[in-house]
Amino acid sequence: MKWLWVPLAGYFALPLVATAVLSLWQGSRGYGFEAYVTLIHTPEMWNSLLLSARLAIETIIAGLVILVPAVFWMNLRLPRLRPMFDFISVLPLVVPAISLVAGITAIYTGPDWLVGTANFLVIPYVILALPFTYRALDVGMRALDLRTLTEAAQSLGASWPSMILRVLVPNLITALLGAALLTITIVIGEFTFANILLFNTFAVYINHIGSTSATQAAALSLLAFLLTWSAMLGVALGGRKAAR
């Protein structure tokens, strides 16, 4: 059975290698880091990257603020709502993103401070990340003895907000990190909403640069892939150490 690794690993490695080769190609001047150097000196690239990074952080915060209390309370007091929570959390996988764009843009046409800025994207992004954030939080909380934790915190006089921030969140740190990283990979790569709503995010920028410079697009794609992967790997290995 072990030989099956070869085609699988080859299938996944080759496109990345080919991208790397393309990103180093300089036409008649052979191979070099020209594309990378040009990119570093392109303000539009930094603007789009910063926008996507900001959206990712906002999406993580908004998603957790909405979901942590809800999933916590559902697990502790309202287990009969679980089927409904499960259903809602798989809906974003069932309703195609492009249909959701159509639905959201038709209903929410204003006010301008909401739909006119890129921050509007945080709303669909929270929805897109919902299946993964919900699952991570739910698995994390099921592994905890919520009842005992809550009672202990309350008998020490903790209010609900401080109970969530000081007791629940530290106990959920690996689950939260996992959810946050998945959210980052989703937001950095998200193209559908940003392209249709005409916001210049990182994925939209890569698309745009791809039409003028294939080598720069390849360089950016490769960097984005390797950076997210190493970040996730760091958390996976670091989190395991911390858990021990």
Residues 17-46 that bind other proteins (CB under 8 A): 17-19, 21-22
Please state the separation of Cα 183 from the chain's center in Å.
Answer: 2
Of 179, 178, 188, 152, nearest to 233 (Cα)?
A: 178
Cβ-based neighbour number of residue 156 at 10 Å? 10
Question: Of 42, 47, 105, 200, which one interacts with other proteins (CB under 8 A)?
Answer: 105
**Residue 124 interacts with other proteins (CB under 8 A)?**
yes
- 25: helix, coil or strand? strand
- Is 243 one of the binding residues for other proteins (CB under 8 A)? no
Q: Cβ of 188: how many Cβ atoms within 10 Å?
A: 20
Map the footprint of other proteins across residues 184-203, applying CB under 8 A. Answer: 185-186, 189, 191-192, 195-196, 203
Question: Crossing angle of helices 173-189/122-142, nearest 10°?
Answer: 150
For residues 66 and 173, which CB has a smaller minimum distance to other proteins in the complex?
Answer: 66
- Applying CB under 8 A, does 137 fall inside the site for other proteins? no
Distance CA 125, CA 94 (A): 15
- 69 C-beta neighbours (distance < 10 Å), count: 14
Q: Is 11 in the site for other proteins (CB under 8 A)?
A: yes
Under rule CB under 8 A, which residues in 222-241 are in contact with other proteins?
224-225, 228-229, 232-233, 236-237, 240
Q: If residue 71 lies in a helix (H) or strand (E), which one and from where to where?
A: helix 43-76
Q: Which is nearer to other proteins, 57 or 88 (CB)?
A: 88
Site map (CB under 8 A) of other proteins, residues 153-172, x = contact: -------x------------
- For other proteins (CB under 8 A), the number of binding residues is 77
Q: What angle (nearest 5°) sits at the alpha carbon of residue 189, between those of residues 213 and 47?
A: 60
Which residues ranging from 37 to 96 are in contact with other proteins (CB under 8 A)?
65-67, 69-70, 72-74, 77-78, 81, 88, 91-96
Query: Which one of 53, 57, 61, 100 is in contact with other proteins (CB under 8 A)?
Result: 100
